Amino acid sequence: MKEDQVVAEEPGFQDEEESLFQDIDLLQKHGINVADIKKLKSVGICTIKGIQMTTRRALCNVKGLSEAKVDKIKEAANKLIEPGFLTAFEYSEKRKMVFHITTGSQEFDKLLGGGIESMAITEAFGEFRTGKTQLSHTLCDCSLSVFRNAADFCEHQMELLDYVAAKFHEEAGIFKLLIIDSIMALFRVDFSGRGELAERQQKLAQMLSRLQKISEEYNVAVFVTNQMTADPGATMTFQADPKKPIGGHILAHASTTRISLRKGRGELRIAKIYDRLTEREQKASVKTIKDPEEDTDTWSRGTTHTGACWGSAEGEHREE
């Protein structure tokens, strides 16, 4: 049986997804022509909420949309979804739609409050060989559907987000996770020196804003990895660890949860909640393994294409 047939037969699934967003085609009932709707879809704006999340200036930059058309589109969108404040009860009901994606390790899931959270950006940073990409592969393995693409430069990365948004809309409810590994690698290549730092941070902020909107619009979890840099000034302040994640305050403010990964003994890796609104600072130990059967933690799916997984080593979990 095909995957889309299985999804369609699940009770209440369609109703749940339809309540999450309204299709942009509804604008036709309010005088917006099909040609203009196609122009919006071409840049990844496929829902009424997506229009409300996009500024007038950004909409005017869409080829073929004048200021008059943008005002008309905005007015029609506000008729379908009235902009305004949510009551605490309404927001509580919306938060009930949040789910968590398992990392494959019970201890790691416990540390994260259940796993990688939807409608949020989770960032994992660390030095090389701390398990960032391995964790990304494991999350893919724990997800239902996977498709992959590779960006060549940061502008291409932004263009791919438009494609991703359209894909999430086209196959609503199929995809639950969006991974970017790594969020800063291409920015470090495309922008160099302090002279281009301001432009780099502005582009980064735009990308993170787009990711946050996608996560809320389609109720997906966003997981990004990040790299480290040495802080030359740390030695002057006698800091124990002179390394810090790159991306500055822009990335720090955008991430809902920040996970610090560092090497332990052998294959042991230490995961630490570096920043999270709802959790105190915590640490847990996990061990990278090549055979899921060797893991003492619960691992139901095993590995298919990754060749490795994350798991908690029995007797090695500790608080530091």
pLDDT digits over 50-103, tens only?
A: 898 888 998 999 988 999 999 999 999 988 888 778 888 888 888 889 999 988
What is the torsional sign of CA 168, 169, 171, 176?
Answer: positive
Q: What is the dihedral of CA 207, 208, 213, 215, to 10 degrees?
A: 120
State whether residue 59 is helix, strand or coil: helix
Kindly state the tokens that stand for 10: 């699940």
Least confident of 18-22, 163-167, 172-176: 18-22
Q: Are 290 and 296 in contact (CB under 8 A)?
A: no
**DSSP sequence for 222-274:** EEEEE-EEE-GGGGGGT-S--EEESSHHHHHHH-SEEEEEEE-STTEEEEEEE
Q: Are 60 and 40 in contact (CB under 8 A)?
A: no
Residue 144: the pLDDT is 64
In a 13 Å sphere around the CA of 133, the CA atoms on its Cβ side amount to 9
pLDDT digits over 242-254, tens only?
A: 688 889 899 999 9
Amino acid at position 314, single letter = E
Per cent of the chain over pLDDT 90 is 24
Residue 278: the pLDDT is 65
Tell which wins on pLDDT, 236 or 150: 150
Q: What is the mean pLDDT of residues 212-240?
A: 80
pLDDT of residue 310 exceeding 70: no
Those residues whose C-beta lies under 8 Å from the C-beta of residue 220, and which sit 6 or more positions away, are 118, 119, 168, 175, 176, 177, 178, 214
Those residues whose C-beta lies under 8 Å from the C-beta of residue 253, and which sit 6 or more positions away, are none
pLDDT of residue 189 exceeding 50: yes
Point out which residues pair with 259 in neighbouring strands: 124, 273
Q: Are 258 and 125 in contact (CB under 8 A)?
A: yes
Q: How confident is the model at residue 268 (pLDDT cuts 50, 70, 90)?
A: confident
Burial per residue of 217-242, b for 16 or more beta-carbon CB atoms within 10 angstroms, e otherwise: bbbbbbbbbbbbeeeeeeeeeeeeee
Q: Are 309 and 295 in contact (CB under 8 A)?
A: yes
d(CA 148, CA 166): 15
Strand pairing category for 309-311 and 283-289: antiparallel
d(CA 154, CA 158): 6
Q: How confident is the model at residue 18 (pLDDT cuts 50, 70, 90)?
A: very low
Residue 149: the pLDDT is 79
d(CA 50, CA 44): 9
Kindly state the tokens that stand for 6: 């299985």
Residue 70: the pLDDT is 92
Q: What is the mean pLDDT of residues 105-132?
A: 89
